[in-house]
Structure 1
Amino acid sequence: MEKWLKTLEQRLSKKFNKTEVDEVISYYEEIINDRLEHGEAIEDILKQYHMATIERDMMVSELSKREVNSIQDLFKTVFQFFFILIATPLWIPIAVIYFVSFVIVFVFFIVSIAIFFSGLAAIIYYIAVAFTDMTSFLEVTGYIGVGLIVMSILSLISLWFYKASQGVAKGLFKVFVNLIKKYRGVK
């Protein structure tokens, strides 16, 4: 039993912090000891606990608790969860839906970048028009003003798309994690 617990601890320590690992180790140590006291053989007990399953369940649980504060954290968490999904054959259909959902979110993100750059292009265009036409000072100011207004509007739309894609990504992640937790019985 000690060897099995030590192996589990080493395996979990690669992906989780010490406090989380200690909680899991003490949990399984207590369960195994209780079952040993009731006369079960250690081999039979250990056959029922698969380290990969424990690790996967713990990963799902920990990913659902993780605070995602930046877009990099979000992408990292999303990809880690995707790899958990495709690692289990029964979850592959869910992984496909998950992947397609996040492709759509990624498209929203790309659209936000494209809209922002179109705003930059608009202001460059209006500045170029203002200075290439031999026009009065008021017309130059008007062109620059229109360019700034267009850029501001497009920047706000871009920001909205960015925030929407980030919010949808977080929401989808929570939905899929809760679905898997419910399916696996993970708390």
Structure 2
Amino acid sequence: MEQWYQRYPQLLDAERAAMYDFQGDKAVLGTLADGRACWCVRCQPIIAGREKWDCRVYEICLVYDANHPRAVCGTSVKAYLLNPTLEDLQEIVNRSPNVSPKVIPHLLKDERGVLYLCSTDSAHVSVDGSSAGGITSAATSLRYALRWINAFELGLLDPVTWESFQKEGVI
């Protein structure tokens, strides 16, 4: 299947520039076996004034749909957690006494049945450049994923935040 970056090499250049502006050399561009482009990013968000050593490190894979920038259920760049996995996070939720319900919200299944972060509504992404921000990029999807991670981590600390995180469009 032909990939978006083959049809629009200038868009790939823009994607590289946007990610570099956001992450510098910390993000690595690659391709999956099926030809889809992806970024691998390692980040350690500082949560609620904690010391960096006390914050979880996340490895995220941002995978472009073959027809990027067409968006379905949010964005055409999906954020998958590699480490910790969603299963690891579920174990943390299950062990957290102040967290209820014991459900990790805002997850979707891709066409392969794999869960990824649902971190934005399709109304908040641009697929045709008509918005002032242009076409939604992997850098934008990473920002949304980091917002999801922050809400998750803060929710583990505060039951009111966890309750808000469960609701659509609140956080």
More strand by share: 2
TM-score, normalised to structure 2, is 0.29
TM-score, normalised to structure 1, is 0.28
Structure showing greater radius of gyration is 1
